[in-house]
Amino acid sequence: MRSFVYTVISRGDDVIIAKKFQRWNNVSNGEILHYSGQYVFPGGGLNFNENPIDGAKRELSEETGISFNDEVISNYELEISDAIDFIPTLDRDFGCYALYVTCHKLEDLANKINENLSDSSRKDKIDGELEKVEIMKKANAHESFRNICAVDQDCENSASQPRDWFIRMLQ
């Protein structure tokens, strides 16, 4: 079973969510960009024998340029959970882990992430999947995730499938 890790960064009813690029805009020929053009939490595949918390932190750094070092934790007033939730997927052969982070300076962190994403000098440090991040009310994010589509590897069109794990990460 393949596992995936995501980081949910929030403050109260607000949460940071990311929008993926359309895959034809920035991904090399033949490569699949899952959730192309859709809203997601920063995350990706858990490496073999990798601790899920370390994996979530690695994926956040790869996708946003934000590492959980002492300076970042202090500057953005972050509280990183010591635990991680496992969220089994329904009728699928993989599961997802969610690392929860409370950020008291959510707007500042979102601005820094967007600055990183638009900084061409950082392109070798960021994997280029995310277009931007936004702060959204959890109720609105819940509705956005309800409409996420799966990318069909054989076709440019997407078939609508609910992504129940993103919704359950908000609860």
User: Which string of b and e fits 111-136 if b means at least 16 CB within 10 Å?
Assistant: ebbbebbeeeeeeeebebbbbebebb
Q: Which CATH class is domain 2-169?
A: alpha beta
Q: How far apart are alpha carbons 112 and 16 in whole angstroms?
A: 12
Work out the burial of residue 80: count CB atoms within 10 Å of its CB; fewer than 13 is exposed, 13-18 middle, 19 or more buried: middle
Question: What size, in residues, is the chain?
Answer: 171
* Mean per-residue pLDDT of the chain: 80
The residue among 21, 20, 24, 56 whose CA lies nearest residue 39 is 20
Confidence check: pLDDT of 144 > 50: yes
Quick one: pLDDT at residue 46?
A: 93
Rounded mean pLDDT of 132-149?
Answer: 80
Q: How far apart are alpha carbons 115 and 64 in whole angstroms?
A: 9
Quick one: pLDDT at residue 39?
A: 84
Cβ–Cβ < 8 Å for 103, 109 = yes
Rounded mean pLDDT of 46-67?
Answer: 93
Q: How far apart are alpha carbons 7 and 82 in whole angstroms?
A: 13
Q: Which residues pair with 136 in a beta bridge?
A: 15
Give residue-wise pLDDT tens across range 74-132: 999 999 988 888 877 665 667 889 999 999 999 999 999 999 999 877 766 677 788 89
Quick one: pLDDT at residue 152?
A: 38
Whole-model pTM? 0.82
Q: Which two tokens stand for residue 30?
A: 């033949």
Quick one: pLDDT at residue 150?
A: 43
